[in-house]
Structures are given as C-alpha cells and as structure tokens.
Amino acid sequence: MHSILKTSLAALVAAGVTASSAAAQDLSGELNIISDMSNPAPRAVMEGLAADFDALHPDLEVNLTIVDREAWKTQIRNALGANPPDVVNWYAANRMRPYVDAGLFADISDLWAEPEFEALASTKGAMTLDDAQWGVPYTYYQWGVYYRKDIFDQYGLTEPSNWEEELANCQTLLDNGVKCYTIGTKFLWTAGGWFDYINSRTNGYDFHIALARGEVEWTDDRVRQTFANWRQLIDMGAFIDDHQTYSWQEALPFMVNGEAASYLMGNFAVAAMRDGGLTDDQLDFYQFPVINADVDFAEDAPTDTFHIASGAQNMDAAKEFLRFVTSAEVQTAINGGDALGQLPVNANASIDDDKFLAQGFDMLSNNAGGGIMQFFDRDFDAEMASVGMEGLQEFMVFPDNLDDILARLEETRQRIYQ
C-alpha cells in the first residue's frame, strides 16, 4: 500500500487526528475493512487511508479488502452476517435502512455526540435513522443550477433567489429564443433531480423524506402542489424539446451552443462542460431558488459513507478509524483533485482552488437549509424509485397525465410500504 495523503503523518499526529482519547493510543489487534472503492482513484485513496492509519498505530494490523463497487451491492448483506469485518463502505439515508433494520450496522450516536463531529453537522440528517446515527460520510458533491453567465449578462439577468425571479428569468430567455434548461431524461434519473428540488423547496426536507419513506400518499395535495409548481416551467416551454430522447451527456451541447442557458445537475458535469469548450468565465453556479420561504429546504448531495458492523471484533479501532477519516486534515487530503476530486464533509477542511467546488462547499457546509438529500433513486425504495422516475419523466412530456401518474405511484407505494 502507498500513502496518498498530501498532509504528512507527522503533521496529522501533531494536529491531534488520532489523539481523541488515551485509549486511541493503545489500539491493538486487527482492524478489518471491506471497501467498494474499486475504481483507480478511489482505490488509491482507500489504500492510502488504510496504510496511514496502520502507520499511526504500530500495535494495530489494518487488513483491507477491496471489492468491485457493483458486486458489493449484492455481497454486503452476506459479508455483514457471519464473521463480519469491522468497517465497510456504503451509502447514506434510506440506503442504510435495510442494514439498520436487520441489526447489521452499529449505532454510533456516541461518536456524533463528540465535539469534533459538529463540523459534520450538515450531513448528520443523512446519517440518521430512528433518531440515531449509523455511520459517517467521507465524501459528497453538490447539485445545483449551472448556467451560462455570458447569456445571463447579455439579457441583463441575475442569479434568482426565489421562484418568482426564476420564472421571470426564464420568460426573458424564452422571449429571446433561448430555452431555460437543458436536460436529458432518457435514463430517467435527471427528472428525479428536478422533483427533489421542487418538492423540497415546496414542502421542506422533512416532508420530502417522509414521502421517500412511504409515509405520505402520492395523491396528497402537497405533492400535487409540487407538480403544479413544476408544471409552470413545463407549460412555459422552459425545457429543451424531446429531452426524453437524450442522455444527460447528449443534452450538454444545447448549453454549450447557447440554445439553453442552464442545467440542473451534479458537479461532475463541470468537467464535461469545460471539455465542450465553455470557460469558467462563461460558466457559473447558483443554489436552486426558494419556492416556499416557510420551509427548510434541502440540497441533493449524494454521500458515500463508512459504517461499523454491529458484530465488529475491534470496536475501539473501528471508531477511531471513523474519527480519522472524517477529520479536517484527512478530509482535505482525500477529497482533493488528485484524489477523489469531490467535496470534504468536514466544514473545517480546505478545498482545491476551483470556483465550483468553493461554491458547493460553502453551500453544503453553511447553507443547506433543512438537510442533505441523497437523490431520488437513493432516498426512495429501489422499486418505488424505478416506478417513480418513470412517472416523473412521463409528467415532463405529458403533464396532463398527472392524475393517472399519481394514482399509479400511490398504488405502488401501498404495495411496497403497507
């Protein structure tokens, strides 16, 4: 194994990364970790984390097993059963529930009660089920509205802070022959992003998560209000035509060519926009605007996580590893452009000199409102998400079908959750 941490081990020790308790200095035995960070860059990060933590604790033997990311989705339950490892990778929010309900993840609320974990406050909701915390985040990335600043400047537009300003900007663009948004819904999930934002801005984070957990009927008037707000944009002609025939990448040229002014998307799209020829002077980013000022809204920020198995053999070492991986210094190191290239979850960490990362870090650390959503296909049950996203895409193409769509989604909800 080789270290990928930019901060030296000596500096980490000096900073107190592993000095959270006297017991932490006396870790011994084995720490067994199974990770799904199998792609080249994440694998290097994981190998570096294991090697550095091992070096910091001479009497502890860290054993790392890396498995294929897709294969892990079917292997994790068996792995957490007989003879489980101490620490595993997984995902936040509703994706944790099967393993929480089965008693396979350990309750680590005691860690979250430590003062150092206050720097992770924006992600606490995503790690909470049944009023307890079941893991820690180690990386995430922001979603929001990426837009052509040069086009906005051309028509005298400014970043909107509320729905009325968003609609007014959109109308100005349409009056000048420019679509407000590009989008490709061929593979459905991008429509899920639009629902996440409009629903959380209309009804709040808690309502959105209650809907995701099957606790709210899809025919509820509050859900209908979300679709009514969304339909304002659809009826205006805000989205590019025939978006159901495009993947998210195939929808990029509309923005690159100036036929559309913005894209609601994750930060991973920035590289593709730059590759398409857009400069950072042409591109900018804003937080999805407020619709209902009386609710705590939320941000989509898909979060990757570490968890301790309930049957862990070395609980002390496992908890210390979670303290280590979430510390500001380690978060700075592993989320840099040469490593994961995403955002640190610790608000005291530093980020690379990239304006979009800077805006996303500020938004998620300081302005995430009610909490962090994990995206439609992670927050909702897998079958509900599949049927739901089909309905969302259908609504964007045939909004008059709403009653039939909601009836179908409600029938699915009742079958899955009741």
pLDDT at position 18: 45
Model confidence at 7, in pLDDT bands (50, 70, 90)? very low
Q: Which of 3-17, 102-116, 268-282 has the highest mean pLDDT?
A: 102-116
- Dihedral Cα 309, 311, 313, 318, nearest 10 deg: 20
User: Residue 260: what are its φ and ψ, rounded to 5°?
Assistant: -135, 150
Q: pTM for this one?
A: 0.85
How do residues 190-239 score in pLDDT, each as one tens digit? 999 999 999 999 999 999 999 999 999 999 999 999 999 999 999 999 99
Model confidence at 366, in pLDDT bands (50, 70, 90)? confident
Domains of the chain: 9-140+302-349 (3.40.190.10), 143-300+373-417 (3.40.190.10)
Q: What are 93's two structure tokens?
A: 């929010």
How do residues 309-354 score in pLDDT, each as one tens digit? 999 999 999 999 999 999 999 999 999 877 898 999 999 999 988 8
Handedness of CA 151, 359, 263, 256 (dihedral sign): positive
Rounded CA-CA distance 107/348 in Å is 25
For the ranges 20-24, 168-172, 338-342, the lowest mean pLDDT is seen at: 20-24
Q: What are 339's two structure tokens?
A: 């490593």
